[in-house]
Structure 1
Amino acid sequence: MSILLVAKKDFQDAIRSLTLVAVVGIFTAFLAFYTYYEFTMTPLTTTTAFDLYQSTANAVVVIGTLLGYKSIAGERESGSLKFLLGAPHTRRDVVLGKFLGRVAVVVVTVVIGFVVVSPHYVMLAASPSVTAYVGLIGRLLVPGVVFVAVALALSAASRSTTVAMWGAIVLAIVFAFAWDMVRNVIESFMLPPDAGIPNWFRLITRFNPKYFYLDAQTLELGNAAPFYLEPWFGGVIVAGWLLIPLGLAYLLFERSDLA
């Protein structure tokens, strides 16, 4: 129950501080522009809901990271963490409650954004599909939730919001942008051009939570794909990205003082 109370307070704080309004507004504006651009500049015979994933996934990674980095460091810096723990809530309650509160902001942001721009999709997509659209929303929530957890661990390890902020910026740059750039360079210049993409390279790509869904079925590899390209292994990757950062966040927070 204490976890839910912390989560509720965190979500309400996001509303009172207008953080939720700002994040929803910025994401929806970006999504409206991007859907219009994607569906009008790309031939309508090839454009689908999946074509929206890449850039919007990068945006969701950034949102999750920026929402998470102040979760504990900000409370510690302002001194309100002492009052929160005196409520009484345990440190585990604070970690999990903060996580759920920030995840709620991510979910509301993504859902509202895609509901608002759904007319763009219906009018301009080649073959509008409610199932594909809802599936896209669900798939996008995964990296958002994961990077809230990762940024939360970063926040628990930081003594100030400045340190946490720079860590969050680096984190967002690496996983939202640099990962793809390095992957493209390796694929274009370092892999044998006629040998095809090796499975180990697909696994490395899949370790980025943005690409957890890249299984053998999605890649059309047939039945000879290794186990780490099976659909269930994507769940293992996501679980690892959630449980390890949350565990680290709790351990770091448990061993730190409140000053």
Structure 2
Amino acid sequence: MASRFRSEPTSEHAAVETVSDDELGSIPGYRAVIRIAIREYRIAIRGRWAIGLTALFAIFSVTVVGFGTSEVGPSQYAAVVASLVELGVYLVPLAALTVGYDTVVGAREAGSLDMLFTLPVSQAQVIFGKYLGRLAVLGGAMGIGLGVGGVAATLIGGIGGLEQYALFVIVSVATAGVFLGVSVLLSTLAREKTQALGAALVAWLWFVLLHDLVAIGLIAGTELPDAALTVMALTNPADVYRLLVLSQLETTTGGFAAVLAKASLSVPLLVVALIVWLLAPIVVATVGIRHQPP
């Protein structure tokens, strides 16, 4: 018998697509992850939030591009991309954390997680598959939405700045993957969806607002070496996101980003830091799910 998920669920809280033990028992690990990811993608894509996210990022990018190019001129894409990054550092983490906070705890409350765990797949495969499914939806929404802004930038100022804009889009999607992983980790550890949502909001406040405020306070009160500034940047994925894009631009901004620019962080180091942030939350989540009480 060909191995496949049998039926399409009508809602996230309704039926769980089932696979027989014999079917999954012969499927390699990576194929099981892909099937779980496809299942999660199909469930998530039915929700209206995917369309809403696409519209949100399209409006965001077109608005910034429109105002930016009209103010600085069509040849100054660097300033426009810098503005997108400084605003995106608030929007991208918030969108990702909101998308992922109920990934595990919501499935547990609905009963579908226990049903998946009865199948011959590991808990790590379930968590990773669910993460990939939601990342596909989130990344697709961001790619389409921000792509609309890229089209607007091309129409207004030509193709001269598309490379910079493309870098912004790629790093933005990768950063969304980081915060989606953080939200999946929080969803794994939470007992209820309300707890997961509260933890996601606290994470957003820390990474986007409080971390830099604390860092600025330390810098203002003490003479920190460059190594301390490097650690501050690398321990915050929002700062890694900001610096990775701004390092490729001819313009810069003020605030903590200007301070961190003195730390001489190399692009390869920032890329490695972003990759570590992509992997670490999901790895911890796959370990944490094994210690959750039934």
Q: TM-score range by the shorter chain?
A: 0.7 to 0.9
Asked which structure has the greater RCO (Cα within 8 Å, sep 6+), the reply is 1
How far has the Cα of 1:163 moved from its partner? 0.2
1:152·1:249 contact (CA, 8 Å) conserved in 2?
yes
How far has the Cα of 1:185 moved from its partner? 5.0
1:62·1:176 contact (CA, 8 Å) conserved in 2?
no
2:247 aligned with 1:211: no
Q: In the comparison of the two structures, how many residue pairs are matched? A: 248
Residue segments in structure 2 that go unaligned for 5+ positions in a row: 1-30, 251-261
Greater shift in the superposed pair: 91-100 or 28-37 = 28-37
How far has the Cα of 1:158 moved from its partner? 0.4
**d(CA) in 2 for partners of 1:257 and 1:77?**
13
SS in 2 for 1:89: coil
Structure whose CA Rg is larger: 2
Give the aligned partner of residue 180 of structure 2: 148
SS in 2 for 1:212: helix
**d(CA) in 2 for partners of 1:153 and 1:169?**
14
What are the Cα deviations for residues 71-114 of structure 1, in whole angstroms up to 9, with x where unaligned? 10110111121222234432111111011112112210221012
SS in 2 for 1:17: coil
**d(CA) in 1 for partners of 2:212 and 2:270?**
18
Residue segments in structure 1 that go unaligned for 5+ positions in a row: none
1:142·1:209 contact (CA, 8 Å) conserved in 2?
no
RMSD of the TM alignment (CA)?
Answer: 3.0
Q: Which amino acid aligns with 2:275?
A: A
TM-score by length of 1: 0.82
How far has the Cα of 1:161 moved from its partner? 0.4
**d(CA) in 1 for partners of 2:234 and 2:283?**
22
What are the Cα deviations for residues 6-42 of structure 1, in whole angstroms up to 9, with x where unaligned? 1111111111122311221222222222332333345
Task: Name which of 245, 248, 253 aligns with 2:289.
Answer: 253
2:48 aligned with 1:12: no
2:69·2:76 contact (CA, 8 Å) conserved in 1?
no
User: Structure 2 vs 1, CA of residues 171 and 199 (structure 1 numbering), >3 Å: closer, same or farther?
Assistant: same
User: Structure 2 vs 1, CA of residues 128 and 180 (structure 1 numbering), >3 Å: closer, same or farther?
Assistant: farther
Give the aligned partner of residue 57 of structure 1: 89
**d(CA) in 2 for partners of 1:166 and 1:138?**
28
How far has the Cα of 1:157 moved from its partner? 0.3
**d(CA) in 1 for partners of 2:184 and 2:279?**
12
2:127 aligned with 1:95: yes
1:158·1:164 contact (CA, 8 Å) conserved in 2?
yes
**d(CA) in 1 for partners of 2:282 and 2:151?**
37
**d(CA) in 1 for partners of 2:103 and 2:133?**
9
Alignment of 1:35-114 (within 5 A): 35-42=65-72, 46-48=76-78, 49-51=80-82, 52-114=84-146
What are the Cα deviations for residues 201-239 of structure 1, in whole angstroms up to 9, with x where unaligned? 244124321333647x9399xxxx98x833322233223
Q: Which amino acid aligns with 1:65?
A: L
**d(CA) in 2 for partners of 1:205 and 1:43?**
32
1:2·1:93 contact (CA, 8 Å) conserved in 2?
yes
2:236 aligned with 1:200: no
**d(CA) in 2 for partners of 1:129 and 1:43?**
12
TM-score by length of 2: 0.73
2:190 aligned with 1:162: no
